[in-house]
Amino acid sequence: MRPKGRARGRLRGVAIDALIDAAALAHSGEEGLAAVKASYAKRIFEKANIKKPYEYRLIYCRKCKKISPIGISRRIRLRKGRIVFRCEICDGVYRKMVSKS
Positions touching Zn ion (CB under 5 A) are 61, 63-64, 87, 89-90, 92
What is the closest distance, in whole angstroms, from the C-beta atom of residue 20 to Zn ion in the complex? Answer: 20
Contacts of 67 (CB under 8 A, 6+ apart): 22, 23, 26, 34, 35, 38, 59, 60, 61
**How far is 44 from 82, CA to CA, in rounded Å?**
32
Contacts of 31 (CB under 8 A, 6+ apart): 25, 72
What is the closest distance, in whole angstroms, from the C-beta atom of residue 25 to Zn ion in the complex? Answer: 18
What is the closest distance, in whole angstroms, from the C-beta atom of residue 76 to Zn ion in the complex? Answer: 14
Contacts of 49 (CB under 8 A, 6+ apart): 2, 8
Give the residue with the Cβ less far from Zn ion, 11 or 67.
67
Give the residue with the Cβ less far from Zn ion, 3 or 92.
92
What is the closest distance, in whole angstroms, from the C-beta atom of residue 11 to Zn ion in the complex? Answer: 26
Give the residue with the Cβ less far from Zn ion, 4 or 65.
65
